[in-house]
Amino acid sequence: MVEDAHVSAEAVGMRVCPGCGAHFERRPWALDRDLCASPECWHAYGEITMFVADHLPVLGRLRQLALDAYGAQHVGDPTPAALVAHSLVGLHLALVEGSDDEAVRAVHERMRAVRTAWPSFGPPPAPRAVTVADVLRDGARAESVEGHETSVRRWAEEVWQSWAHRHEDVADLARRM
Res. 160: pLDDT tops 70: yes
pTM over 0.85, yes/no: yes
Task: Tell me the three state secondary structure of residue 24.
Answer: strand
Adjacent-strand bridge partners of 14:
25
Q: What is the pLDDT of residue 32?
A: 67
- Cα–Cα distance, 88 to 160 (Å, whole number): 8
37 exposure class (CB count in 10 Å sphere: 0-12, 13-18, 19+): buried
Residue 5: predicted pLDDT: 47
Residue 103: its H or E element: helix 101-113
Q: Which residues of 105-119 are buried (b: 16+ CB within 10 A; e: fewer)?
A: bebbeebeeeeeebe
The Cα angle at residue 67 between residues 72 and 30, in degrees rounded to 5? 90
Q: What percent of the chain has pLDDT over 70?
A: 90
Q: What is the distance between the alpha carbons of residues 31 and 159, in angstroms, rounded to a whole number?
A: 22
State yes or no: cis peptide before 78, omega within 30 of 0.
yes
Q: Pick the residue with more confidence: 117 or 161?
A: 161
Rounded CA gap, 31 and 23, in Å?
16
With a cut of 50, say whether residue 64 has pLDDT above it: yes
Angle between the 63-73 and 101-113 helix axes, to the nearest 10 degrees?
A: 50
pLDDT at 8: 54
